[in-house]
A and B are shown apart, each in its own frame.
Chain A
Amino acid sequence: MAVRLVDSVTRTLIRDGREGDARALSTLFARYQEKVLRIVRLRLSGPLRDRLRLQSMDILQETFLHAIRKLKDFEPTTEASFLHWLSRIVENVIRDQLDYWSAGKRDSAAERSLDQSIALASGHVHLRDMIPDEGASPTQAVTRKGMRSIVDELLLELDEFERELIIQRKLEGLTFGEMANDLGKSEDAVRKHFNRSFQKLVALAEKKKVPERLGFG
């Protein structure tokens, strides 16, 4: 798998974002929103995942903004490492916030959406407008859902470690070396575990007749 370096657009957006350019941050957000949201959802435990699904997208947007502000401490080199870093932060922030809310200590400040933040900060809204949220038009929803949600359903049937391996490798795009580092195991062991997990996923897909359901084959 080829290593994809952080591209010039992302680098520029990060730099501008650090300097307080809200438009840059919103664009950066637009680029990674869907991927990060997907990864985070897969990583959260069942009850938290459900809660996230019920809550407004604003939670994610707010926490995302919060995460991006931490950028001053991190200099990403590859797309995968950036995505991994970003999704871990977002995951932690969401986990904290959902726990906090579930304890009934809802903070009204946290309800403020990213839109509002950006609008307040700059009076300018850009690309983010064109990224549909969960309430996008039905035709969009049909084209976007399909495969992704079915594959996610399958992933949730794996155990946590197997799922993590697949998230890191297939969604974040980490190399086996990076995964080994993150998981504290040898590269060879990670590779073997990953292959086994993927085989399990294939077996699940076959058992549930996923290709047929999607009109393949």
Chain B
Amino acid sequence: MIETEPEGMAEIIGSFIEELLEGGDRSTLEEYCGRYPSMRRALEGKFECVRVLEEGFGEDNLAGAEINDYLVVEEIGRGGMGVVYLALQKSLDRYVALKVLPMGMIPDAREIARFRNEARAASRLSHPNIVPIFSTGEEKGMYYIAMELIRGIPLSRALEGLRSTGPEPRTAFEVRGIIEACVDLPRLSRALGTDAPEAAAGRNPSPWDQPYLDLVLSLCSDVSDALAYAHRNGVCHGDLKPSNIMLSSDGVPMIVDFGLARDVRSLVSIRSQDFLGTLAYASPEHLARNVVNEKSDIWSLGVTMYEMITLRQPFRTGDVAGTIQKIAKIDPLPMRALSGRVPRDAEAIVARCLEKEPERRYHDAQGLKEDIERLLAGRPVGARPIGRMARQLRRARRNPVVSLLCAALVVFALTTPWLMVNSAIQKSLSMGTQYYDEGRYSEALQSYSMAWNRLKWIPFAERLKADALCDLGNAWSGKGEYEKAIHFYEAALKIDPATVSALIGLGDVYFEIGAYDKTVSLYDKVLLLSPTDRNSYYQRGRAYRRLHMYDKALKDFRRAIALAAGDVDALREITAVLSEKGLSTVGERKACLGEIGFTGPEIRAILELREGDSQ
């Protein structure tokens, strides 16, 4: 809005791209944005383009490349956490799935250390439903994880396939058909060899012969067993979702990417689609406080179960904010409302996983597994269906805390680690306020604009944005540029119509330009939101006085005095109103004030003020 295009923009962009080509990364972007804040949008656009181009050029580089002991053969999958290749481990002459994390995915030393620690912990896990990690390592800045090659597809792809096959009833057999259609089995078989270890060894030999729901339950039982095992060994998954569960052609689910979850908030800066994909399975505490533990894994498995049973994601909406709100506050539609075939006990198990308060969920994954096993065996489960009344009560308890979500969102925006710019924004804002307080409005404007130009690109920081727009409005108002001030106040109110400071600022500007009726209606809103604000009664009273609505003015001044005893400004206003009403005698004035509800001492204080003191 208040953006001036710096001179030599093309040169700046040119040198920015050159630096990116010489190995620059996100920190280069932040450095340039810091230097040229008004060019942030342009620089970010260029950054994304360079990233896409580099990936486009680099895509083939790994096919045929050697990464330590691995000879990369070809790409077999691609996702938010990197590209998976079929690779030959030369020393052992075996084929592996080599996951290579995208360049720039691990931005700093702290994250690298974390990646190493977690990958090391995950590589110690040994469970039939966890994809074994053979090794992890780094070469030329590329981080990779070598895993067992699974003859199968991610569960997410199986669900996609089921969605496209039409309505119920679904069968386990259909799932097998989807896996066979998706996996290039002959090719993988060649890679795996005829004597490849079967992941399904010793397990149910014909998982495809059972009803679909039983298949879902037994898969979830296996996954919760794997979770329980990992949790006992001190490893949480942190990003459990269907795309992280491989489903082998033998019907065995195997979890991948254990412990590789990143701060879900930092994903915002990576790819919005991936972020949404991850977000839909994240627990309320993960989103609000970045807490990832056993309970959040149970939540994610609950979401996955819900989706496997109904083929719908319980919390996903079209956008990030809607999804967050749904996760934080809204119970999912009962599965039985979507399909009468879902047994009550299955509903109860999923509902217990999806309790908003972690302590209400299963104590641990083992408990979840046991309940699923009970359901499969036709025995009563531990989770009890939640009655309608209990549901209502819980909802009622949650809803009053409207500010919770706002607070979560603000924390979300303020604490997001990738927001290196955050401190710069805060600095600009507080400098602006300092200038504003000193009456140096032009300087204040400059600082506020700087903050705004960074802030406007940040998702979720709506509260902060509204406040910053309001600051800009105040600064313009200070300069006497009312039209511009109105523009900014209105922009703030567009983001959040309950931004009190914007309502006040706008009300005052309208007062200055003589639009007193507008002032009154704006202060009406302020006082609805903030009914004990002395200043608002005083200001509205002044507007009423200009509109010759004297009784209303007097009432407001009386409230102002009640909230701030001895409020001289209000007393003077009252004296002025009495004069304008044509009440010249003490008696008339006393009677009028008494009618409005002033107390004796207040009336005395008003009458003691000399006429000349009034405005």
A199 within 8 A of B: yes
- Whether A202 pairs with B49 at a CB distance below 8 angstroms is yes
B31 within 8 A of A: no
B78 within 8 A of A: yes
Q: How far is the CB of A147 from chain B (nearest CB, A)?
A: 4
B17 within 8 A of A: yes
Given known contacts A31-B64, A131-B73, A216-B271, is B59 in contact with A147 (CB within 8 Å)? yes
- Residues of A contacting B59 in the complex (Cβ-Cβ under 8 angstroms): 144, 147-148
7 nearest A-B pairs in the assembled complex, by CB-CB distance: A151-B56, A31-B64, A211-B48, A205-B49, A147-B56, A170-B57, A215-B273
A184 within 8 A of B: no
B191 within 8 A of A: yes
- Whether B73 pairs with A202 at a CB distance below 8 angstroms is no
B52 within 8 A of A: yes
CB-nearest residue of chain B to A173: B61
CA of A139 to CA of B156, assembled, Å: 14
Q: 6 pairs across A/B with beta carbons < 8 Å?
A: A32-B64, A137-B184, A143-B76, A148-B60, A215-B271, A215-B274
The digit string for A133-165, where 1 denotes a CB below 8 A from any CB of B, is: 000110110011001101110100000000000
Q: How far is the CB of A121 from chain B (nearest CB, A)?
A: 21
- Whether B56 pairs with A150 at a CB distance below 8 angstroms is yes
- Whether B57 pairs with A205 at a CB distance below 8 angstroms is no
A206 within 8 A of B: yes
Interface of B: prevailing SS: helix
Q: How far is the CB of B490 from chain A (nearest CB, A)?
A: 29
- Whether A206 pairs with B272 at a CB distance below 8 angstroms is no
CA of A152 to CA of B56, assembled, Å: 8
Given known contacts A38-B60, A171-B57, A199-B14, is B73 in contact with A130 (CB within 8 Å)? yes
- Whether A199 pairs with B13 at a CB distance below 8 angstroms is yes
CA of A2 to CA of B142, assembled, Å: 14
CA of A9 to CA of B76, assembled, Å: 22
- Residues of A contacting B57 in the complex (Cβ-Cβ under 8 angstroms): 151, 170-171
Number of B positions contacting A (CB below 8 A): 41
CA of A78 to CA of B63, assembled, Å: 17
Interface of A: prevailing SS: helix
- Whether A130 pairs with B74 at a CB distance below 8 angstroms is yes
B21 within 8 A of A: yes
CA of A215 to CA of B274, assembled, Å: 8
- Whether B52 pairs with A147 at a CB distance below 8 angstroms is yes
- Residues of A contacting B18 in the complex (Cβ-Cβ under 8 angstroms): 195
CB-nearest residue of chain A to B50: A202
Partner of B53, one of A30, A32, A38, A151: A151
- Residues of A contacting B46 in the complex (Cβ-Cβ under 8 angstroms): 202, 206
- Residues of A contacting B61 in the complex (Cβ-Cβ under 8 angstroms): 35
Partner of A9, one of B21, B53, B71, B274: B71
The digit string for B51-88, where 1 denotes a CB below 8 A from any CB of A, is: 11101110111011010000101111110000000100
CA of A205 to CA of B86, assembled, Å: 30
- Whether B71 pairs with A195 at a CB distance below 8 angstroms is no
Which bucket holds chain A's interface residue count? Answer: 35 or more
- Residues of A contacting B14 in the complex (Cβ-Cβ under 8 angstroms): 195, 199
A127 within 8 A of B: yes
- Residues of A contacting B610 in the complex (Cβ-Cβ under 8 angstroms): none
Partner of A211, one of B52, B60, B86: B52
B140 within 8 A of A: yes
Q: Which residues of B contact A (CB under 8 A)?
A: 13-14, 17-18, 21, 44-46, 48-53, 55-57, 59-61, 63-64, 66, 71, 73-78, 86, 140, 182, 184, 187, 190-191, 271-274
- Whether A131 pairs with B184 at a CB distance below 8 angstroms is no
CB-nearest residue of chain A to B10: A199
Q: Which residues of A contact B (CB under 8 A)?
A: 2, 7, 9, 30-32, 34-35, 38, 127, 129-132, 136-137, 139-140, 143-144, 147-148, 150-152, 154, 170-171, 195, 198-199, 201-202, 205-206, 210-211, 214-217
CB-nearest residue of chain A to B153: A139
Interface centre among B48, B57, B76, B140 (most CB of A within 10 A): B57
Partner of B52, one of A139, A151, A170, A195: A151
Instruction: Please name 11 further chain A to chain B contacts, defined as beta carbons within 8 Å, in addition to the given A216-B271, A217-B271, sorted by A numbering.
Output: A31-B63, A35-B61, A38-B60, A136-B184, A143-B77, A148-B60, A151-B53, A198-B17, A211-B48, A214-B52, A215-B271
- Residues of B contacting A150 in the complex (Cβ-Cβ under 8 angstroms): 52, 56
- Residues of A contacting B48 in the complex (Cβ-Cβ under 8 angstroms): 211, 216-217
- Whether B56 pairs with A30 at a CB distance below 8 angstroms is no
Interface centre among B14, B50, B60, B274 (most CB of A within 10 A): B60
- Whether A34 pairs with B63 at a CB distance below 8 angstroms is yes
CB-nearest residue of chain B to A217: B48
CA of A136 to CA of B182, assembled, Å: 12
- Residues of A contacting B64 in the complex (Cβ-Cβ under 8 angstroms): 30-32, 34-35
- Residues of A contacting B49 in the complex (Cβ-Cβ under 8 angstroms): 202, 205-206, 210-211
Q: How far is the CB of B423 from chain A (nearest CB, A)?
A: 24
Q: How far is the CB of B52 from chain A (nearest CB, A)?
A: 5
Q: How far is the CB of A40 from chain B (nearest CB, A)?
A: 13
Interface centre among B52, B61, B187 (most CB of A within 10 A): B52
Interface centre among A2, A152, A215 (most CB of B within 10 A): A215
- Residues of A contacting B51 in the complex (Cβ-Cβ under 8 angstroms): 211, 216
Interface centre among B71, B140, B191 (most CB of A within 10 A): B71
CB-nearest residue of chain B to A144: B75
CA of A195 to CA of B15, assembled, Å: 9
Partner of A34, one of B44, B45, B60: B60
CA of A184 to CA of B466, assembled, Å: 58
- Whether B66 pairs with A7 at a CB distance below 8 angstroms is yes
- Whether A195 pairs with B272 at a CB distance below 8 angstroms is no
Q: How far is the CB of B191 from chain A (nearest CB, A)?
A: 6
- Residues of A contacting B17 in the complex (Cβ-Cβ under 8 angstroms): 195, 198-199, 202
- Whether B63 pairs with A9 at a CB distance below 8 angstroms is no
Q: How far is the CB of B79 from chain A (nearest CB, A)?
A: 10
Q: How far is the CB of A62 from chain B (nearest CB, A)?
A: 20
Q: How far is the CB of A211 from chain B (nearest CB, A)?
A: 4
CA of A195 to CA of B10, assembled, Å: 13
Q: How far is the CB of A192 from chain B (nearest CB, A)?
A: 10
- Whether A35 pairs with B60 at a CB distance below 8 angstroms is yes
CA of A210 to CA of B48, assembled, Å: 9
